[in-house]
Amino acid sequence: MDSVNVSAHHDATAVDLFLSADTENVKIGITNSLFYDNKKGGLRFSGSFRSPRAILRGCRFSRNFGETIQFEKFGNASLIVDKCTFLSNSYLDFDRGDSVISLKNVQGNDNELSISNCQFTKNTVHDVITIFDNSTATPSTTHISIMSNKFIQNLANSVITTNFPNVSVTENKFQDKRSTCEITYHPPASPKSEDLLRNTMVAGQQIYFALKNTEVFNGSTCHV
């Protein structure tokens, strides 16, 4: 799917990719496409698929309501989001926790998740990026990378929120004075110093972190 405009969907998610249980190792590529003015979400991956590989590159998501990109069940899957722009997207249901990128039920040890070289600007959501493992089983050992992104003037509880134990947030730039926190960790997440290297405020201030299951706002601990 290349150079497609997806706009003005009012009744349901603009693009809903439902994959059945017998769908295995499918590859999905969406490049250089525009998602804008959709009223109930932009892009959703749903179903009981096995080992899908999805790549979003060079896309622009603007003025969408609801969760802009949603993965309902991220199990032994691959998602790469690279060089995408997210501008002025808004929540539809704040209490539900609408986010720009939402990954729920992250399970299995063969996942790949990378969000890199993207710009998130003036989004009004519960959290900008949400990554949660909702299972009660042994946590996944998959490594998740959020690297070299810009977060500018977003209004949210937290720019990044996760309970996932293996999330690397490095080399990002933040300027989100209206957001309560830059990064929020919930149990069992326990970040290490090497997982938070070279993140900066746009004005040049280094972002520090505290190991209290709550995190990081202008160099101090943020309680939520």
Task: Give the DSSP per-residue string, 34-59.
Answer: EEES-SS-SEEEEES-BS-EEEEES-
Amino acid at 194: E
Amino acid at 193: S
Q: How many CA atoms lie within 13 A of 194 on its CB side?
A: 1
At residue 184, the pLDDT reads 87
**pLDDT values of the chain reduced to their tens digit, one per residue, 224 residues:** 899 999 999 888 999 887 766 667 788 999 999 999 999 999 998 876 666 788 999 999 999 999 999 987 777 778 899 999 999 999 999 999 999 999 887 777 777 889 999 999 999 999 999 998 766 566 677 788 999 999 999 999 889 998 888 889 999 999 877 777 788 888 888 788 888 888 888 765 555 443 444 444 444 445 44
Q: How far apart are the first and last CA of the chain?
A: 40
CB distance 92 to 124 below 8 Å: no
Residue-wise over 65-98: b if at least 16 C-beta within 10 A, else e? Answer: bbbbbbbebbbbbbbbbbebebbebbbeeeeebb
Distance of CA 137 to the CA centre of its chain: 23
CB distance 156 to 135 below 8 Å: no
33 Cβ neighbours under 8 A, 6+ residues apart: 1, 2, 3, 4, 5, 6, 59, 60
The CA distance from 209 to 205, in Å, is 13
CB distance 145 to 172 below 8 Å: no
Phi, psi at residue 99, to the nearest 5°? -130, 165
Q: What is the pTM of this model?
A: 0.88
**Paired sense of beta strands 127-131 and 119-121, if any:** unpaired
Sheet holding 43-47, edge to edge: 15-19, 43-47, 69-71, 99-103, 127-131, 158-162, 181-185
